[in-house]
Amino acid sequence: MGGTTRRTTRDDDFATRLTAWQHGHGRHDLPWQNTRDPYRIWLSEIMLQQTQVDTVIPYYARFLARFPDLASLAAAPVDDVLALWSGLGYYARARNLHRAAQAVMTRHGGEFPRHAATIAELPGVGRSTAAAIAAFAFGERAAILDGNVKRVLCRVFGIAGFPGERAVEQRLWALAEELLPPIGIGTYIQAQMDLGATLCTRGKPACGRCPMAQICVALREERVAELPAARPKKAVPQRHVRVAVIVADGGVLLERRPPSGIWGGLLALPEIPDGEADAARWVATRYGLAAQATRPLPPLNHAFTHFRLEITPLLVEADGHGHMAADADHRWLALDSLADAGLPTPVRRILAELAAARP
């Protein structure tokens, strides 16, 4: 990546138009811009994976206030990292961020790697993200291919097929490499991101203001709406789960999720096994708690990337804290002090509604 490529008029036209547009119309004042600090750039790139800029900005500020540098992040308990990530979604990013910080400290002596190929070896960092970090922090001439860039390239150069298909993606990578300008790589990479995020959007693109309007194949052939091709549709699975909201003395019992899978490593409500009709008996057997009363709470639907989950909470009023209170994988937390806990968004909603309804 980043080797010498044969320049063509098409390539120079694309890069020249894009860079000129960036200077006058691109984004220049985002919190992670105007810095060469690889830690801050890396953090922003991970947070921006599958998340909008406006959502990321407050999380980015809070994260840096708590972990101002790589060493402080690496030394922190993973629970603290997950708590700050709570609500941002895709929690594997937070776990990998923590693991990567520790890897930089142990494998690289605390110095962030300078080259995209080495950066890509860190947990949670793919080829495109590594290239963006290397370009912004160290000026390495490396191509990126995130969702915005794929959309721009598919439209401007009329590339058909779903970009997630291997053959189409390989073609896009080759094109992205070929289009790299010889200088000004940071501005060019930012321009690609900004064009896709602000003008060449998925819905209602602003083609009349786009610097590529005169050379865009999709616009010329009236194919803007069909490029890039959509992911082939599949039926979205619907899953159901019952969870126990076990409360006693103003606290709720939370159970740590396994490291992998949904909500990995977060504190969540215990799942009641399928076929377990008597929730009170299950609570008594599993947690050593005597249930005084049980009643259903309003169900909640939550959408993940590949499936939808219907959550049915069952409130269990318990007597005392039982024998699980000292278990490392379980924790009693007060209902009125959950703000700093690392909880999945639907669990936080369930508990917030419960706390608001209690006297």
Please confirm, yes or no, whether 45 is among the known catalytic residues. Answer: yes
Residue 152 in 3-state DSSP? helix
Backbone angles phi, psi at 290, to 5 degrees: -90, 115
- Indicate the residue type of 175: L
Q: Locate 14 and state its tokens.
A: 């694309």
The catalytically annotated residue of 45, 140, 165, 169 is: 45
Contacting residues for 311 by C-beta, under 8 A, at least 6 apart: 241, 242, 243, 299, 300, 301, 302, 346, 350
Return d(Cα 133, Cα 337) in angstroms, integer. 37
Residue 210 in 3-state DSSP? coil
Q: Which residues pair with 316 in a beta bridge?
A: 246, 294
Q: Locate 65 and state its tokens.
A: 């206030």
Angle at which helices 147-156 and 185-198 pack, to 10 degrees? 80
Residues annotated as catalytic are: 45
